[in-house]
Amino acid sequence: MKRTHRMVALSAASLVLALALSACSDGNNASPSPSSPSPTASVAPETESSSPSASPELQASSGDYVGLIDGHSIEIKTANGTEVFQVDPQIEEKITDWEEGTKVKFQYTEAELEVDGEKVKQSTIVAIDKE
């Protein structure tokens, strides 16, 4: 009789455990999809599979330095509004201590990249100085 009680108890415990595990699972073992990236012109060329279009032409502009966005992007307020520009580590080091609102003149290139099936303009500063 004791053996029957143990079998019933073991079966009941196994059933409860199986139900608890199946209730906690939605049947999909895939991880949740990440949120879609926000559309910006700040694209790190080394992390995206992108192909620049034609050879970029050097352009010159001036404006007010706004600040660093991340390790490779800065904002400058130009006559066209606030714009985002890519920078290399040498330029980042040069401007790290600059105050917001510093008047700057700079040279940059523009490239059109295809990222996730969309064309994105990427502006990259090649030279920058205080005015």
34-79 pLDDT, tens digit per residue, is 444 444 444 444 444 444 445 568 999 999 999 999 989 999 999 9
SS (H, E, C) the chain: CHHHHHHHHHHHHHHHHHHHHHHCCCCCCCCCCCCCCCCCCCCCCCCCCCCCCCCCCEEEEEEEEEEEEECCEEEEEECCEEEEEECCHHHHHHHCCCCCCCEEEEEEEEEEEEECCEEEEEEEEEEEEEC
What's the predicted TM-score (pTM) here?
Answer: 0.57
Place of tokens 């060329």: 45
The predicted-structure confidence for 88-124, as pLDDT tens digits, reads as follows 999 999 999 999 999 999 999 999 999 999 999 999 9
pLDDT score for 71: 85
Q: What are phi and psi of 35, to 5 degrees?
A: -65, 150
Residue 87 structure tokens: 């920078």
**Residue 9 confidence (pLDDT):** 59
